[in-house]
Amino acid sequence: MDVLNDKNTSIIGIWGMGGVGKTTLLEEIRRQAGEKKLFDMFFMVTVSQTPNFESIQQKIADMIGLEFTEKTPEAKAERLRWRICEMLKEKKLLFLVDGVWGEIDLEKKVGIPYGENYKGSRIVLTSRSRDVCDQMGCKPTYQVEGLNDDEAWGLFKGIVGEIVESADRKHIAKRIVGKCGGLPLAIKAVANPLKEKSLSHWEVCISELKGQNLKSVVREALQFSYDYLSKPYAKEMFLLCCLFPEDEVIDIQDLFRLGLGFGLFQNTTTLDTAMAEADVLVDYLKSSSLLLESDREGSVLMHDVIREFAISVASRDKHLFLVGTHQEFICWKRNHAFTRCTAVSLQIDVVPEFPYEWECPELELLKLEGKDKQPLVLPSNIFKRMEKLRVLSMTDIQMMSLPASFEDLKSLRTLCFYKCLLKDISIIGELKNLEILSFCDCDIEELPKEIEKLTNLRFLELTNCKNLRLVPSSVICNLSNLEGLYMRSFSQWKVGKDNASVEDLKKLSSLVALEVCIPNDNLWPDDLVFRNLTRFKISVGDAFYHEDEHLFSHSSKILELKTNTTFKEGFNMLLKIAGVIHIEGTNALHNLNEYNSPLLKCLIIKKCQEMKYAIDTTKSAPLIVFPLLEILEICDMDNLQELYLGMLLRESFGELRKLILKGLPQLMNVWKNPTEHASLQKLRVLGVSCCHKLKSIFSLYMVRDLVQLQEMKVSQCEALEYIIDGERNGDGHENLFPQLNRLELENLPKLQRFMSSLNALATSANCGSGVLEPFFNNQIAFPKLEFMIFSNIDGVREIWTSKFRLEMSFPQLRLLNLGSLLNLTHFWNMNSNENIHMEIVPAVEDNARRLIEFPCLQYITLEKLPIFESFQMGGHALFDGKVAFPSLKRLTLSSVPKLMHVWENMDGPPAHVSLQNLISLDIGYCDTLKNVVSCERDKTMAAAEEIEVGRNTAEVIIFPALETINFHNLPNLTSFFARNGTLFDEKVAFPSLKELNLYGVHKLMHVWENMDGRPAHVSLQNLFSLDIVDCDTLKNVVSCERDKTVAVAEEIEAQGNTTGLIIFPALEVIHFHNLPNLTSFFVENGTLFDEKVAFPNLKQLKLYGVHKLIHVWENMDGRPAHVCLQNLISLDILECDNLKNVVSCEKDKTVAVAGEIEVPGNTTGVIIFPALKMIYFRNLPNLTSFFAGNGTLIDEKVAFPSLKQLKLYGVHKLIHVWENMDGRPAHVSLQNLISLDILDCDTLKNVVSCERDKTVTVTGEIEVRGNTTGVIICPALEMIHFRNLTNLTSFFAGNGTLFDEKEVWNSECLTTSQNCGAPKSKSSHFVR
């Protein structure tokens, strides 16, 4: 997991043979990275051997809420890449890419950006081949090998049970496990069939595992599992799964439709029982480890190794399946394989040339899967010789019409279209034996009237056909044998004279499965009652339907009603049998007594304003109410006073797991006394919000039943004073919430304490005398609590009592987030005279300290705490010697104005034990903060180790893991430790620091202190990004007050100069913004970078509003000052009023950074920026040139061979951009230039100086009609933008013509050429 935190790592490879557990490892990485909050979002996708990039793109787009308007995969990839790049500006993203078979450009093909320019993006991929990992540029790579003996034995035993330890089986079990070679897939495959089997079956197993290598072992294990499938049709159902593309999520309904048409489920009499049988078979195959669970409800997955096995079995047995792509299709044709096969699954990447007729006399199932709804034209006689075809499935194909031979498919039972664009399909009406017809996610506008002739049709699906406008009434009325009708996306009921009406559904007497969405309850006939439905999803109400897979997973009987009238008889019938009910907006519902169904699993009630009591038993004997209900949500009901009134038996709500109460302003109680009524012993999630009359959530008696509560969120309850009403006698702790994992309390202005006091008068007296009542008393324990989030709770003054025992009360706390607690002053008061219970840390340097330790706390966020000063009452710093956080990783402090110090400086380790694992430190808007570590004591402290600094043995405070420091708006911060105006001195070290962001630290004069030894600069070696903004008093980044400079990593010899260099070896990004007093990085000479500092990996430099800056780089005889140039990609300089030259021209000689470029007759060295692609200069009123100070920006002393984009805005002293000269260097910058923007440069006369006699050939001499004069060539230039250039006369010649024969660019590349807004331009022609 550590490598995921490394910003220099972008793509990680995991490789190993199929079935070894790579996918499982990937899922574990996702789980652990999620628990540790290493990333903000996670994306897990599967590539497979034949990648479907659009499917991968769509999955990622769905997760980030992106809707594609683009049509091509390439355009979608670019759109997705752009969106992800925008997200990476604020978030860290982890992409888990499973099953890569060959080299893929994930950025171009999918749209996943990665690499050194996208530090917030990480990719972890899996492959069977290490070579593939290497080709993908994975660093590092890890091989996944099999389980060791103990792990393999544990897995086998966990499946089979304790019987493996019996004397007659243990030895043979050990042999079976040994034969599996540690492969989890093989172990599971043999273990599941052996459960509850006799010894003879075990002996058969060991005799069949003969493989000499791991691949053969896996195959034999799968064969054993397959052979032991005993349920009818289980083997056939298993083999059908291999017809789906590799790694595709398999919808069980799709599997059912294929199976029914293929002749499975012959022993069932109705469609409903066949569906149930399909569900049973899928569960059976999952329990046999031959199918896998999917994240999506109602679907499964097949492991690619198991799929390969299934294809081989199907190919060799009498079933003979052919599964492949269009390339394999060509081989099948050549080998005449079609003549014998019974099932074909063909994935079409490009439209193949189908034979005029397929010789497939035995074919029973044909599955064609296209791509991008590509047009497919089938020969008219293609189905002529498919007399036995029973199942035809087409996916992602565009067909204007179906071939004429369609009517010859007399045996066809199942016809399915998925994601197809269809026009004329009227010929389907000739398929008189058709039983299943499905149009799912299809672009189809009307159902042809001819379908009314399909009188044997049992199932018709029109799911998610969003453009469907016409379903003829006669079609519905004539399909009298229809058992299943799915048409939720159709909303045009009774629109026009020919469209179907809800009334037509009365003709379907055999209907057992129905999915419809009806926009208005008036369309439902009063006498329409369905008495035989066993599966239904019925929504009644305009714009009401929402697809909630998790909600719908609770039942196959779902009813959603939005109506203002009394429920019709048909609704009442469905309400009594539904498993999920969602009712909204009815005034006719007074209580739920009538719908107290033992089948109900999920109940959602919203905006039923006449309801005062959800359940009212005052006029009847006590009832058992909703015994199997798992989810109850009651929202936005203005008059609801109680959830129930009267007596309930204890079995009531016995299975309730989630209770949400929202927008109930009259609600008096959440729940009543459970000793007399129902209890909530299985409740796991509780959410209460906007219930303004509640004064408490629970009674103490009720709380004792909440033994499984895991999440509690209470918000926006204006009158709430306590969470628990009542306090028990005694001083001992009680685990009232033994499983509570997450506690969120937000916007509760009157909340004072978690549990109320028995003696309210004493409480009032205590508050009046200044004695604070803590939020948690010593009687409450949360042994499993990990997340605690409080915000906007004005009544909280102190969090914990001094009597509490943390090791019992909050031992697992991982995240603490406190915000907008206006009266919170501290967490606890240890100066109290009460008996204090604390962990005692072993003596450090013979000095025993009482220490409260939060052993698991990793994330602390304190925001908007206006009077908060410290954890401990009276403390001088946030953390002192009484508290420790050994696991702390992220600390965020914002708007804590009374905070003066974060850590107290002390002689022993407790106050700094919090530093060892700290990764991120973010402090902002803390107006009185003076130092991060208090400097009021004489001695400093080593947190992890002592660093010897030359001859200085002073102890150093080390933050060994700290990677990111963000300081913003800290007007009184003078230093991290010493109060000397320098942020970091020799007393602190950050060996892992990668990002340093300083915004608005107004008293800061220097960032680092210059000193003779290493510690102050040990922070530099891993620094990647340096961002300093709005620091008014900053003079230098490194203090220049000492005589000697420091060599951090090595000394660079600069032509006889042995002066040590301050090196930032990993620094890639520098951004300085609004630093009015900054004169230089190190030496106060007006030059930012001189020979004392080096940045060998610098890529981006942005300077904005650095007004005292005269030069960026110093020109010198040796290399060091320009070692920054080698990798520089982007240079932005804006609003620097005094900047004269980018490179100082005060010395006689220039420097060759990467080598000397020889210019004919000129051996002067050239300053080269070899990687620089973009230059942006804006509002630089005194800039005269890059180097020479002659009014020409770029002359022969500098070269930019990679330059692509040049922007010059408001460079008012500029006369020329390039100098015209006899040699190449000044124009080597032109060969890759794509874009040239020049705006508001008042004195610019020519782009290229015309003061010399000869012109320059950049890439060679072009002969223009006998003229051998050299021509300035811009071969890649695509865009020119000139605006407000009042003195520009021409590009080159000064003759009033912008472009003449002296300039040449590729006319095919040049797309935009503008001379807009230059009112005083002396150009008489735009182009001659």
Residue 1062: pLDDT over 70: yes
pLDDT at 179 over 90: no
Query: Which of 8-17, 539-548, 900-909, 1084-1093 is predicted least confidently?
Result: 539-548
**pLDDT band, residue 65 (cuts 50/70/90):** confident
Task: Find residue 635's DSSP bridge partners.
Answer: 606, 662
Task: Kindly state the average pLDDT of the residues 551-561.
Answer: 78
Confidence of residue 772 (pLDDT cuts 50, 70, 90): low
Rounded-to-integer distance, Cα 1151 and Cα 1168, Å: 9
How far is CA 534 from each of CA 51, 269, 458, rounded to the nearest angstrom?
A: 39, 14, 15
Strands 1130-1134, 1100-1104: pairing kind: parallel
Question: What is the spatial distance between Cα 238 and Cα 225, in angstroms, rounded to a whole number?
Answer: 11
pLDDT bin (cut points 50, 70, 90) of residue 296 is confident
The rounded distance, in Å, linking the Cα atoms of 894 and 1071 is 23
pTM for this model (two decimals):
0.80
Q: Which of 462-466, 496-500, 710-714, 1146-1150 has the highest mean pLDDT?
A: 710-714
> Mean pLDDT for the chain?
80
Helices (H), 460-527: 473-478
With H, G, I as helix, E, B as strand and everything else as coil, classify residue 1032. coil
Tell me what the mean pLDDT of segment 12-30 comes to. Answer: 88
Residue 436 has pLDDT above 90, yes or no: yes
pLDDT bracket for residue 1162 (50, 70, 90): very low
More confident residue, 1104 or 315: 1104
The predicted structure's pLDDT at residue 1158: 35
Nearest residue to 549 (alpha-carbon basis) of 283, 299, 296, 301? 296
CA dist., res. 113 & res. 263, Å (int): 48
What pLDDT is stored for residue 669 in this prediction? 87
**Which pLDDT value is given to residue 298?**
85
Q: Are 677 and 624 in contact (CB under 8 A)?
A: no
The predicted pLDDT at position 1146 comes to 62
Q: 403: cis peptide before it, omega within 30°?
A: no
Residue type, 1044: K
pLDDT at site 1221 = 56
pLDDT at 802 exceeding the cut of 70: no
Q: Which two tokens stand for residue 1205?
A: 């984009």
Q: Give the whole-angstrom CA distance, residue 541 versus residue 47.
A: 41
CB atoms within 10 A of CB 607: 16
Length of the chain: 1328
Mention every residue, 6+ apart, whose C-beta is less than 8 A from residue 936: 876, 905
Residues 189 and 221 sit within 8 Å (Cβ to Cβ)? yes
Rounded Cα distance, 231 and 1093, in Å:
76
What is the per-residue pLDDT across 751-770, written as a single tens digit (0 to 9) for each? 988 988 654 434 444 444 44
What percent of the chain is predicted at pLDDT more than 90? 30
The confidence band for 70, taking pLDDT boundaries of 50, 70 and 90, is: confident
Block residue for tokens 């962001």 = 997
* Residues 6 or more apart whose Cβ sits within 8 Å of residue 1272: 1220, 1227, 1230, 1248, 1255, 1256, 1257, 1258, 1292, 1302, 1303, 1304
Please tell me the least confidently modeled range out of 297-306, 973-982, 988-997, 1127-1136.
973-982
Of 442-451, 900-909, 1034-1043, which has the strongest mean pLDDT?
Answer: 442-451
To 10 degrees, what angle do helices 199-208 and 170-179 make? 30
CA distance linking residue 350 with residue 375, whole number of Å: 10
pLDDT at residue 1203, as a whole number: 92
Strand order in the sheet with 1192-1194: 1192-1194, 1216-1218, 1246-1248
Q: Kindly report the backbone phi and psi dihedral angles of residue 1088, in degrees, each rounded to the nearest multiple of 5, phi listed first.
A: -65, -55
pLDDT at 504: 92
DSSP 1052: P
Lowest mean pLDDT among 846-860, 1087-1101, 1125-1139, 1150-1164: 1150-1164
Read off the tokens for 1037. 């980044």
Q: CA 52, 262, 397 angle in degrees (round to 5)?
A: 35
* Contact present, 1148 and 1195 (Cβ < 8 Å): no
Task: Kindly provide the b/e burial profile for residues 682-694, where b requires at least 16 CB atoms within 10 angstroms of the residue's own CB.
Answer: bbbbbbbbbbeeb
Three-state SS at 1025: strand
Identify whether the C-beta of residue 1136 lies closer than 8 Å to the C-beta of residue 1180.
yes
Choose among 1, 4, 2, 7: nearest CA to 964: 7
Q: How confident is the model at residue 514 (pLDDT cuts 50, 70, 90)?
A: very high
DSSP secondary-structure letter at 1016?
G
Q: pLDDT, tens digit, for every residue of 1070-1112?
A: 999 999 999 888 876 778 888 888 888 999 999 999 999 999 9
Q: What pLDDT, on a 0 to 100 scale, did the predictor assign at position 2?
A: 73
Average of per-residue pLDDT across 434-456: 93
For the cut 90, the answer to whether the pLDDT of residue 940 exceeds it is: no
Per-residue confidence (pLDDT) for residue 944, from 0 to 100: 34
What's the N-to-C CA distance of the chain in angstroms?
64
- Indicate whether 205 pLDDT > 60: yes
Predicted confidence at residue 24, as pLDDT, reads: 87
Beta 1192-1194 vs 982-984: how paired, if at all?
Answer: unpaired
| Cα–Cα distance measured from residue 1084 to residue 618, given in angstroms and rounded to the nearest whole number | 87
d(CA 564, CA 586): 4
Judge whether residue 74 has pLDDT over 80: yes
Q: What's the rounded mean pLDDT across residues 163-172?
A: 87
pLDDT of residue 324: 72
The C-alpha atoms of residue 586 and residue 708 are separated, in whole angstroms, by: 34
Q: Is the pLDDT of residue 1016 over 70?
A: no
Q: Residue 55's pLDDT band (boundaries 50, 70, 90)?
A: confident
- pLDDT over 70, % of the chain: 80
Burial of 750 (0-12, 13-18, 19+ CB in 10 A): middle
Residue pair 129/104 in contact (Cβ under 8 Å)? The answer is no
What was the pLDDT predicted at 641? 92
**pLDDT above 60 for 667:** yes
> What is the DSSP pairing of strand 299-301 with strand 292-293?
antiparallel
3-state secondary structure of 149: helix
When computed from its CA atoms, the radius of gyration of the chain, rounded to whole angstroms, is 38
What number of H helices and E strands is found in the chain?
A: 21, 73
pLDDT at 95: 93
870-872-875-878 Cα dihedral, nearest 10 degrees:
-30
Looking at per-residue pLDDT, the higher value among 1208 and 71 belongs to 1208
Query: Is pLDDT at 698 greater than 50 in this prediction?
Result: yes
> Residues 940-960: what's their mean pLDDT?
49
Summarize pLDDT for 380-405 with one digit per residue, the tens.
888 888 889 999 999 888 888 888 88
Tens digit of pLDDT for each residue in 208-237?
887 777 778 888 888 888 988 988 899 999
- Is the per-residue pLDDT at 1301 higher than 80? no
More confident call, 554 vs 1181: 1181
